């Protein structure tokens, strides 16, 4: 077993070596521009992109022409929300979302609220789930879009996406979901769940960073999205810019591998997560599980330890990479908006530690982590005047 141990797989996942091998030729020999129509270098790159589009579509049961490549989930979310809002503002200016969304959604909605849109943010219960009846009540005649994440990046809560999709479809409102943490981790079917728009990203499923996708459902009445990046009209005009062929190939390969491994991998990882949880709570008092163990990603554990600040914990456990919240919020000292939304006090929210288990973690690492967590908490509590 090698140290440090990586247990921050919600922030990003290590690239699968098979993914890297699939990408390698597209940096070196197969370097063509996928839009070059006049020679074999361009055709080769284009066919690699189209193959990847099929691999990615398959993992969510979409059609390849429903996948638009972007630079990551943040860009997909911006394109979906701003692009949709701009295209449909004459129909209505009301959007429904939730309080526990990722900052990519919250900040984009905040921008839209400044340019005249009204946003309703649904609260969540202690398990991090929205209320389906409340969602139903919140949809008005001027509501144009519902944007609710599939799985949360801090506490792993998985929403009842099917129920949300059914309500949106019945009320003729479009449904966007940020599925960045879910794709490759839970089986997902955009058709069955009535999804219209979905944002996701390669680096959460053992693919490269800097590449993502927006699923746009093909409907009889096509969904209009105003492009946010203009130029050569790539990706059917939705997103201009020379395609990042090596990363697209890597995203495709990562999706294919995740599709093959999904059910066995999930089960194995959930067992490791449960072992970690049981190992910690059986040896320590004053450990609070943030969220519940049901309706939760199998790779996620979020705990608060009474009397222990997450910064001290993390400093003391340098041999294990865990996190005190979302990677993009690590620079702020504000308590997590997700944890306060599930009724944690500011103190509990500041004392929380997120463990994210992934494909390359093994049982020995979990056994070691349990030992280190117990030692660390006991040591910090023994020197804490507050405990």
Tell me which residue of 24, 14, 23 sits closest to 248, measured CA to CA.
23
The two three-digit tokens of residue 118, written as one number: 């009204």
Q: How far is the CB of 322 from ligand PLP (least distance, A)?
A: 15
Q: Segment contacting ligand PLP (CB under 6 A): 47-55, 68-76, 128-136, 213-221?
A: 68-76
Instruction: Considering the complex, state which of residue 147 and residue 181 has its C-beta at the smaller distance from ligand PLP.
Output: 181
Q: Segment contacting ligand PLP (CB under 6 A): 40-48, 135-143, 178-186, 306-314?
A: 178-186
Q: Which of residues 302-321 bind ligand PLP (CB under 6 A)?
A: none
Sign of the alpha-carbon dihedral angle for 182, 188, 194, 196: positive
For position 104 contacting ligand PLP by CB under 6 A, the verdict is yes
| Residue 328 annotated in active site | yes
Find out whether 64 and 50 touch, Cβ atoms under 8 Å: yes
Please identify which residue in 157, 177, 180, 361 interacts with ligand PLP, judged by CB under 6 A: 180
Instruction: Considering the complex, state which of residue 79 and residue 377 has its C-beta at the smaller distance from ligand PLP.
Output: 79
Tell me which residue of 334, 321, 256, 324 sits closest to 2, measured CA to CA.
321
Instruction: Considering the complex, state which of residue 174 and residue 326 has its C-beta at the smaller distance from ligand PLP.
Output: 326
Residue nearest ligand PLP by beta-carbon distance: 72
Please identify which residue in 128, 207, 208, 212 interacts with ligand PLP, judged by CB under 6 A: 212
Would you give the binding string for ligand PLP spanning residues 130-169, x where CB under 6 A is met?
Answer: -------------------x---x----------------
Would you give the binding string for ligand PLP spanning residues 321-340, x where CB under 6 A is met?
Answer: ------xx------------
Does residue 357 have a cis peptide bond before it, meaning omega lies within 30 degrees of 0? no
* Selected catalytic residue, list 89, 168, 247, 328: 328
SS3 331: coil
Measured CA distances, 265 to 59, 99, 358, 359 (Å): 15, 30, 9, 7
The two three-digit tokens of residue 24, written as one number: 């390698």
Instruction: Considering the complex, state which of residue 85 and residue 100 has its C-beta at the smaller distance from ligand PLP.
Output: 100
The two three-digit tokens of residue 124, written as one number: 């969540």
Tell me which residue of 85, 127, 165, 177 sits closest to 296, measured CA to CA.
127
The two three-digit tokens of residue 317, written as one number: 């456990």
Instruction: Considering the complex, state which of residue 115 and residue 327 has its C-beta at the smaller distance from ligand PLP.
Output: 327
Q: Which of residues 236-265 bind ligand PLP (CB under 6 A)?
A: none
Alpha helices by DSSP H, listed for the chain, are: 17-28, 40-59, 73-88, 103-114, 132-138, 161-171, 245-281, 310-316, 337-341, 346-350, 363-382
Task: Give the separation between CA 204 and CA 171, rounded to whole angstroms.
Answer: 32
| Residue 4: CB atoms within 10 Å | 10
Binding site for ligand PLP (CB under 6 A): 72-74, 102, 104, 149, 153, 178, 180-181, 201, 212, 327-328
Q: Report, as residue numbers or ranges, the catalytic residues.
A: 328
């Amino acid at each position: 077993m090698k140290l440090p141990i990586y247990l921050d797989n919600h922030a990003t996942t290590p690239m699968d070596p098979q993914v890297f091998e699939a990408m390698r030729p597209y940096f070196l020999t197969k370097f063509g521009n996928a839009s070059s129509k006049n020679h074999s270098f361009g055709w080769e790159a284009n066919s690699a992109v189209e193959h990847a589009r099929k691999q990615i579509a398959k993992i969510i049961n979409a059609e390849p022409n429903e996948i638009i490549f972007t630079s990551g989930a943040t860009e997909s979310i911006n394109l979906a929300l701003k692009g949709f809002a701009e295209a449909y503002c004459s129909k209505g200016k009301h959007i429904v979302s939730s309080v526990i969304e990722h900052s990519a959604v919250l900040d984009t909605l905040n921008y839209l609220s400044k340019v005249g849109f009204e946003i309703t943010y649904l609260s969540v219960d202690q398990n991090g789930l929205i209320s389906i009846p409340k969602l139903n009540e919140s949809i008005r005649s001027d509501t144009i879009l519902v944007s609710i994440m599939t799985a949360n990046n801090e506490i792993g809560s998985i929403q009842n996406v099917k129920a949300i999709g059914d309500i949106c479809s019945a009320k003729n409102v479009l449904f966007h979901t940020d599925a960045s943490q879910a794709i490759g981790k839970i089986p997902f079917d955009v058709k069955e769940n009535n999804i219209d728009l979905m944002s996701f990203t390669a680096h959460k499923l053992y693919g490269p960073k800097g590449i993502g996708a927006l699923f746009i459902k093909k409907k009889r009445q096509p969904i209009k999205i105003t492009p946010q990046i203009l130029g050569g009209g790539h990706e059917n005009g939705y997103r201009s810019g020379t395609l990042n062929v090596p990363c697209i190939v890597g995203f495709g390969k990562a999706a294919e591998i995740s599709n093959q491994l999904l059910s066995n991998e999930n089960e194995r990882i959930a067992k490791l997560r449960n072992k970690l949880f049981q190992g910690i709570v059986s040896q320590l008092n004053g450990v609070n599980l943030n969220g519940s163990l049901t309706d939760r990603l199998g790779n996620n554990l979020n705990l608060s330890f009474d009397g222990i600040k997450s910064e001290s914990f993390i400093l003391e456990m340098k041999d294990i990479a865990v996190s005190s919240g979302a990677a993009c919020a690590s620079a702020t000292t504000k308590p997590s908006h997700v944890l306060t939304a599930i009724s944690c006090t500011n103190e509990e929210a500041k004392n929380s530690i997120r463990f994210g288990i992934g494909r390359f973690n093994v049982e020995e690492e979990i056994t070691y982590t349990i030992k280190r967590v117990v030692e660390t908490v006991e040591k910090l509590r023994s020197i804490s005047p507050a405990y």
